[in-house]
Amino acid sequence: MRRSGTVALGLGGACLVAALAWACGDPVHDARVAALGDEKPGVPTGPTHRPGQPCLTCHGGNGPSSLELSVAGTVYQSAAPDSPPLAGAAVTIFDATQLADGGAPQTVTTNAAGNFYIPRSSWTPFFPLHDISVAYPGVAAPTTMHTNVGRDGSCGTCHFDPKGNDSHGHVYFVLDPADFPGATP
């Protein structure tokens, strides 16, 4: 009589397998999450936390957050390194299918921290993304980035401070703070 190759692990064996699977996670992803550092004191985890960081590091499907996002980022008023966030701006994003069939783009509004995001359950874009624009109430023309975004819906992957060879700097609406609507000269 032949026996099957199935092994009954029992509760202790199942716990061992689960612990080994956890220990064999993705060390590169784990290092990226750790590099983000701790939460800022006094800022609760949620829609206004971690402005300017690459949101999809934690919200891209590999955790640690259970809320999976397809596109997310932060918009600031100006290019100045100490610029305040831009709340109430409309961020409009086209993906490759909208270019091909003339479909409507996705539009989302920035919150008090300048953050915006689209849950993956609401939209799964077909890359590349393109013609991403930021419009602000009372300003006739939006600011538009025409560069294609090929694979990562996290704006903070390319747009972080300080601006330099490795970064385009944070996403902003106007170059000079004096050009922001309502700025005092």
**Structure tokens of 19?**
């612990």
Residue in 77, 78, 106 with CA at minimum distance from that of residue 94: 106
Q: Is the pLDDT of residue 23 over 80?
A: no
Q: Residue 10 and residue 51: Cα distance in Å, rounded?
A: 45
What residues form DSSP beta bridges with 173?
A: none
Provide the pLDDT confidence category of residue 184 given band limits of 50, 70 and 90: low
Residue in 73, 54, 57 with CA at minimum distance from that of residue 157: 54
Distinct helix (H) and strand (E) counts, the chain: 4, 7
Half-sphere exposure of 27 (CA within 13 A, CB side): 2
Half-sphere exposure of 116 (CA within 13 A, CB side): 24
Q: What is the pTM of this model?
A: 0.82
Return the CATH class of domain 46-173.
mainly beta
**Structure tokens of 181?**
């609507």
Q: Is the pLDDT of residue 85 over 50?
A: yes
The domain spans of the chain are 46-173
Predicted confidence at residue 40, as pLDDT, reads 87
Predicted confidence at residue 154, as pLDDT, reads 93
Percentage, residues of the chain above pLDDT 70: 84
pLDDT, tens digit, 9 for 90 and up, residues 102-153: 778 999 999 999 999 999 999 999 999 999 999 999 887 889 998 899 889 9
Q: pLDDT higher for 68 or 13?
A: 68
Q: Is the pLDDT of residue 20 over 80?
A: no
Q: Residue 75 and residue 108: Cα distance in Å, rounded?
A: 12
